[in-house]
Amino acid sequence: MINRPHIGIFGRMNVGKSSLFNALAGQSLSIVDGTPGTTTDPVRKILEIEGLGPVVLIDTGGIDDKNSQLGRRRIKRTIDIIDQIDLAVLMFSHNIFADYEQSLMTTFLYKKIPFFLIHGKNGMEPLKVEITGAETVTFSLENPNKQKILDLIKKNLKKISSAPKSLLEGMAGEGDAVLLVTPIDAAAPEGRMILPQVQTLRAALDKNIIVTCVQPAQLKAALEQNKNFALVITDSQAFAEVAKIVPANIPLTSFSMLLARMHENFRDMVKGVRRIDNLQNDDKVLILESCTHTINNCVDIGRVKLPALIQKFTGKKLDFTVIAGLDALPEDLSSYALAVQCGGCMATETQLKNRLNNALEAGVPVTNYGMAIAYCSGIFDRVLKPLL
């Protein structure tokens, strides 16, 4: 899970969103033009804010262009961004704060997304309106108020931020020995480990834990050298193999399940995995993969290995849909029997929470890659126990 807040800039066409985006980014990244609808797809920029750290700034298209198919698609792209952000900046100009703005503000309030307002193009018409319950700052190219806007960003994000719980909280401490089983498979970037393995290793080092890293072939040798590991953590894909080797008295779990434990929806995922028992022929299963890695159709976990494992376990012919990255979810979520989310190392907590809550609100049980693999391998209760 990445800890990089996402900030979306919203408003009607031609209110100055792209000018604000460029001013905050310090670069001309979004095209600025007087022609309405210049920004079509959302534009992103990682921005380092002093006293806060890195954030992702997103410039969105106008929400008032319903006169063409392209305009309606632009609006949908903009609305989809709302489920990806931790903070919203709502722009308006010429003192016009009407139905479009009220609708967005209502959405932010409903989804509990902090926001503030910016009156754009203020040099053309000074701010005269006051919106109850929302802080407002002015912006123009002549007087951008950049520092005041950055201060508002920091103020709002610090309200929702808190020190994240360690991946290994309550599971191992200073001086304990932890064994990481880290297969180097086709999905691992050349010369690097995959992110969940790196995050776990860093969490262990931060707690002064003694860490041993091995590939599955060296697992037996590592256990012969040290029979007192406090915990073994493996890649979920090696669950069945590793569980046969690690003695029952040594706690065992996976990187994916460690990440799941960090999410607000952890209990929902634990409950949802048992839905696998009741899957029927032709049931639809949604696979949610937060990264967009290059696909290897022979070994891909979400598209090949996990569907094959679930179908073998259930003995049913199932219909799988894979949604990668932050692509929009299917419109009719209620038609799915189960949603299975990856570890989510490339998504924020807000993005994962909104995605899973959308499924839950449609009555769809949710679970996690590692949990599904463990359940189908008959070791779920064992590998869940260290996380409780």
Domain CATH number, residue 29: 3.40.50.300
In a domain, 155, yes or no: yes
Query: Are 85 and 58 in contact, with CB atoms under 8 Å apart?
Result: yes
Residues 135 and 186 in one domain: no
In a domain, 273, yes or no: yes
Residues 351 and 306 in one domain: yes
Owning domain of residue 197: 177-258
Question: What mean pLDDT, rounded, does the chain reach?
Answer: 86
Residues 46 and 123 in one domain: yes
Reported confidence tier of residue 371, pLDDT bands at 50, 70, 90: very high
Q: Is 110 exposed, middle or buried (0-12, 13-18, 19+ CB in 10 A)?
A: exposed
* Nearest CA-CA partner of 235 in 255, 215, 220: 255
Tell me the percentage of the chain whose pLDDT exceeds 70: 87
Reported confidence tier of residue 13, pLDDT bands at 50, 70, 90: confident
**Structure confidence at residue 385 (pLDDT):** 96
Query: Are 376 and 101 in contact, with CB atoms under 8 Å apart?
Result: no
Query: Are 314 and 279 in contact, with CB atoms under 8 Å apart?
Result: yes
**Structure confidence at residue 28 (pLDDT):** 60
DSSP 303-314: IIIHHHHHHHHH
Q: How far apart are CA 291 and CA 195, in angstroms?
A: 11
Across the range 105-124, mean pLDDT stands at 86
Residues 292 and 343 in one domain: yes
In a domain, 98, yes or no: yes
Q: Chain-centre distance of CA 377, in angstroms?
A: 27
Residues 223 and 308 in one domain: no
**Structure confidence at residue 316 (pLDDT):** 96
In a domain, 252, yes or no: yes
Res 25 pLDDT > 60: yes
Res 326 pLDDT > 90: no
Q: Which residue has the tokens 């262009």?
A: 65
- Beta-strand relationship, 43-49 and 53-59: antiparallel
In a domain, 224, yes or no: yes
Res 375 pLDDT > 80: yes
Res 162 pLDDT > 80: no
Q: How far apart are CA 219 and CA 165, in angstroms?
A: 28
User: pLDDT tens-digit profile of 32-45?
Assistant: 545 555 555 678 88
Neighbours of 84 (CB within 10 A): 19
Residues 296 and 358 in one domain: yes
Q: Where are the alpha helices (DSSP H) in the chain?
A: 17-25, 69-81, 99-110, 146-160, 195-206, 219-225, 239-245, 255-261, 266-272, 306-314, 349-361, 369-376, 380-384
Q: How far apart are CA 8 and CA 17, in angstroms?
A: 10
Residue where one domain finishes, among candidates 241, 258, 275: 258
Q: Is 367 exposed, middle or buried (0-12, 13-18, 19+ CB in 10 A)?
A: buried
Total domains in the chain come to 3
Contacts of 316 (CB under 8 A, 6+ apart): 279, 280, 281, 283
Tell me the percentage of the chain whose pLDDT exceeds 90: 49
Residue where one domain finishes, among candidates 130, 160, 190: 160
Residues 277 and 244 in one domain: no
In a domain, 386, yes or no: no
**Structure confidence at residue 173 (pLDDT):** 92
Q: How far apart are CA 119 and CA 95, in angstroms?
A: 7
Across the range 179-207, mean pLDDT stands at 83
Res 178 pLDDT > 60: yes
Residues 280 and 294 in one domain: yes
Reported confidence tier of residue 321, pLDDT bands at 50, 70, 90: very high
Reported confidence tier of residue 314, pLDDT bands at 50, 70, 90: very high
Query: Are 145 and 137 in contact, with CB atoms under 8 Å apart?
Result: yes
Q: How far apart are CA 157 and CA 141, in angstroms?
A: 25
Res 345 pLDDT > 80: no
In a domain, 318, yes or no: yes
Contacts of 379 (CB under 8 A, 6+ apart): 239, 240, 243, 252
Residues 219 and 242 in one domain: yes
CATH number for the domain including 327? 3.40.50.11410
Res 283 pLDDT > 80: yes
Q: How far apart are CA 180 and CA 254, in angstroms?
A: 9
Query: pTM to 2 decimals?
Result: 0.75
CATH number for the domain including 195? 3.40.50.11420
User: pLDDT tens-digit profile of 72-92?
Assistant: 777 777 888 888 888 999 999
Query: Are 212 and 178 in contact, with CB atoms under 8 Å apart?
Result: yes
Query: Are 44 and 56 in contact, with CB atoms under 8 Å apart?
Result: yes
**Structure confidence at residue 10 (pLDDT):** 93
Sign of the Cα torsion 98, 104, 110, 113 reads negative
Residues 245 and 311 in one domain: no
Residue where one domain finishes, among candidates 229, 258, 287: 258
**Structure confidence at residue 341 (pLDDT):** 92
User: pLDDT tens-digit profile of 297-309?
Assistant: 556 788 889 999 9
Residues 34 and 138 in one domain: yes
Q: Which is more confidently placed, 385 or 127?
A: 385
Q: How far apart are CA 65 and CA 73, in angstroms?
A: 9
Lowest mean pLDDT among 56-60, 74-78, 92-96: 74-78
Residues 203 and 248 in one domain: yes
